[in-house]
Amino acid sequence: MTENGPDWARLRQAFELPDAHYFMGNSLGPLPHATRSAMRAVIEEQWSQGLIRSWNLHDWFHLPEHVGDRIAALAGAGPGEIVAGDSTSVCLFKLASAALRHSGRWEIITDRDNFPTDLYVLSGIRDLYPEQVEIRPLPVADIPDAVSERTALVLLSHVDFRSGRLYDMEMINRRAHDRGALVLWDLSHSIGALPVALNASGADLAVGCTYKYLNGGPGSPAFSYVSRELQASLQPILRGWMGHASPFEMRADFEAAAGIRGMVVGTPEVLALSAVKASLSLFEGLDLRHLRERSLHMSGALMATIDGIDGDHGLEIVTPREDSQRGSHVAIRHAQAYGIVQALIRRGVIGDFRAPDLMRFAITPLYQSEADIEALGTQLAEVLATREWADPAFSRRSTVT
């Protein structure tokens, strides 16, 4: 920490970075050195030497809570309010199914442009109760007024995966609570990218991804948040022996463990959770307000650079200009977005494409510098000026967020 905030150059050295300008931290964060050594230790010592004893010796048993507590510190939540484990999709089902049973209501409202998995999870819940459950996918702007006494749950992404728009968590929570509805937030595109204020905003439920801004590794476990208040009454529907009050008594009847542990399902994913735990150590001692300030500065600079590129090229910035409404990536619309992204990649600037016409560039102050922003601006201007996006080498293919 320097007088003006963290020593960013030093933080950057904590990662193994590719020889490229990497703007895909909202898809897969790079490998921290700390994770590499932690994984050697968990595999080559804890598993290899400790074997079964490591469940106690290295407290594998409580990894979901230990990792959860570290995430809680970034999410404005208290210790014992978050557990890590299972995929984001499974966590969404876990909390949405529990919320539905809890409410006794049948309507679920969501952003019609939500990340697909959020919509798919809800469609599965609807098919459990095809005659009762009503899923209402709405434009986000209509949601606050649409919530009613019939609404069981509102499911929203905190930051929109396409536009990068940041939603007002406190306002939506308040509107929903006024009508007795719960809100489930998907923090996949905000956790680790900006300060999240779960407790202060009165949040009920949340899930999030750890392989994006938390750098937990490809396909790393997600997390589940249940507010302490709600923990007293919310019963899991998706149950497993590791969420039992007394797992080793091997009782036939299910009794959920007290607190957030009741949301653990199967055996903790020790290797993957160990990777996340190590990657979270990079956030220790970091004030997320500094991260946020730098992120906004960098995304602002990127948008200014885009503005500076000759307007005839048809670039449209989709991400809100207003700081308070912007997450940590910049999305740009262009009819040739796919070819542009491919040309940039060939030039060592790695962003991604989202069908049909969006390119996205994540801002990750932990390991990016101003030089990355400059390089993106320069290369994008050249790709457009030379129409390099039309190169026939860029045939359409799939990519993964």
Q: Which residues are catalytic?
A: 115, 186, 211-212, 360
90 binds its own copies (CB under 8 A): yes
Q: Does 13 bind its own copies (CB under 8 A)?
A: no
Residue 399 touching its own copies (CB under 8 A): yes
Interacting positions 178-197 with its own copies (CB under 8 A): none
Q: Report phi then psi at 379, rounded to 5.
A: -70, -40
User: Of 219-278, which residues contact its own copies (CB under 8 A)?
Assistant: 219-222, 235-244, 247-254, 265-273, 275
In the structure encoding, which two tokens stand for residue 216, read together? 């937990």
> Smaller CB distance to its own copies: residue 132 or 386?
132
Cβ nearer to its own copies, comparing 249 with 310: 249
Piece of 120-128, 144-152, 164-172, 317-325 that binds its own copies (CB under 8 A): 120-128
Position among 88, 224, 364, 368 found at the interface with its own copies (CB under 8 A): 88
Taking the least distance from each CB to its own copies, the nearer of 200 and 355 is 355
Binding segment for its own copies among 145-153, 179-187, 223-231, 352-360 (CB under 8 A)?
352-360
State the nearest-atom distance from the C-beta of 319 to its own copies, in Å: 17
Let me know: does 359 contact 332? Beta carbons within 8 Å: yes
- Residue 333 binding its own copies, by CB under 8 A: no
Q: How far is the CB of 383 from its own copies (least distance, A)?
A: 19
Tokens linked to 343: 């040309």
Residue 173 or 188: the one with the smaller Cβ distance to its own copies is 188
CB of 28 to its own copies, least distance (A): 5
Residues 121-140 that bind its own copies (CB under 8 A): 121, 123-125, 127-128, 137
What minimum distance in Å lies between the beta carbon of 231 and its own copies? 17
Beta pairing partners, 191: 194
* Least CB distance to its own copies at residue 11 (A): 17
The smaller minimum CB distance to its own copies, of residues 76 and 208, is found at 208
What's the per-residue H, E or C state across the chain? CECCECCHHHHHCCEECCCCEECCCCCCCCEEHHHHHHHHHHHHHHHHHHHHHHHHHCCHHHHHHHHHHHHHHHHCCCCCCEEECCCHHHHHHHHHHHHHHHHCCCEEEEECCCCHHHHHHHHHHHHHCCCCCEEEEECHHHHHHHCCCCEEEEEEECECCCCCEECCHHHHHHHHHHCCCEEEEECCCCECCECCCCCCCCCCEEEECCCCCCCCCCCCCCEEEECHHHHCCCCCCCCCHHHECCHHHCCCCCCECCHHHHHCCCCCCHHHHHHHHHHHHHHCCCCHHHHHHHHHHHHHHHHHHHHHCCHHHCCEECCCCCHHHECCEEEEECCCHHHHHHHHHHCCEECEEECCCEEEEECCCCCCCHHHHHHHHHHHHHHHHHCHHHCCCCCCCCCCC
We find the least distance from the C-beta atom of residue 69 to its own copies, in angstroms, to be 19
Pick the piece of the chain touching its own copies (CB under 8 A) from 141-149, 168-176, 217-225, 327-335: 217-225
Residue 55 sits in the site that holds its own copies (CB under 8 A): yes
Q: How many residues bind its own copies (CB under 8 A)?
A: 90
Residues 279-308 that bind its own copies (CB under 8 A): none
Q: Out of 78, 120, 259, 378, name the contact with its own copies by CB under 8 A.
A: 120
